[in-house]
Amino acid sequence: MRLLLINYEFPPIGGGAATATHAIGRALAQMGHGVSVLTSGIASLSSESFEDGMQVTRLPTGRTRVDMGRFREMFAFILKSRRSAAALHRTHPFDASIAFFTIPSGPASLGLFRSDRVPYLVSLRGGDVPGLVPSHRALHLLTRPWRRQILRSATAIIANSEGLAVTSRSADPFPIRVVPNGVDLSAYVLKPVSKFRTKSEATFRLLYVGRIHPDKNLGAVIKQLRDLAPERRSRLELWVAGDGAQRPELVALADRLNLTAHIRWMGWQSKERLPSIYQDGDALVNPSFYEGMPNVVLEAMASGLPVIASDVPGNRSVVIPGETGLLFRLDQPEMLGNAIDRLMDDPDWAAKLGAAGRKRAEFGYSWTATAQSYLELLSRPPSTCSVQ
DSSP assignments along 360-372, one per residue = HHHHH--HHHHHH
Q: Other CB atoms closer than 10 Å to residue 214's CB: what's the count?
A: 14
* Residue 270 one-letter amino acid: S
The predicted pLDDT at position 200 comes to: 63
Domains within the chain, CATH numbers bracketed: 2-182+366-384 (3.40.50.2000), 193-364 (3.40.50.2000)
H or E element, residue 77: helix 71-91
The predicted pLDDT at position 38 comes to: 98
Q: Other CB atoms closer than 10 Å to residue 157's CB: what's the count?
A: 25
**Strand 96-100 versus strand 54-59 pairing type:** unpaired
Residue 362, CA distances (Å) to 46, 188, 316, 372 in order: 36, 11, 18, 17
**Strand 177-178 versus strand 48-51 pairing type:** unpaired
**Strand 177-178 versus strand 156-159 pairing type:** parallel
Q: For residues 152 and 360, what is the distance between their CA atoms, to the nearest angstrom?
A: 35
Report whether 158 contacts 292 (CB < 8 A).
no
> Which DSSP category does 117 fall into?
-
Its sign, for the CA torsion 147, 152, 122, 40, is negative
The predicted pLDDT at position 386 comes to: 42
The predicted pLDDT at position 133 comes to: 82
Q: To 10 degrees, what angle do helices 106-116 and 137-153 make?
A: 30
Q: For residues 133 and 151, what is the distance between their CA atoms, to the nearest angstrom?
A: 19
The predicted pLDDT at position 375 comes to: 96
Report whether 183 contacts 367 (CB < 8 A).
yes
The predicted pLDDT at position 292 comes to: 82
- Spans of the chain below 70 pLDDT: 193-201, 381-388
Closest CA to 294 of 178, 102, 66, 126: 126
Report whether 303 contacts 241 (CB < 8 A).
no
Number of DSSP helices (H) and strands (E) in the chain, helices first? 14, 14
The predicted pLDDT at position 196 comes to: 67
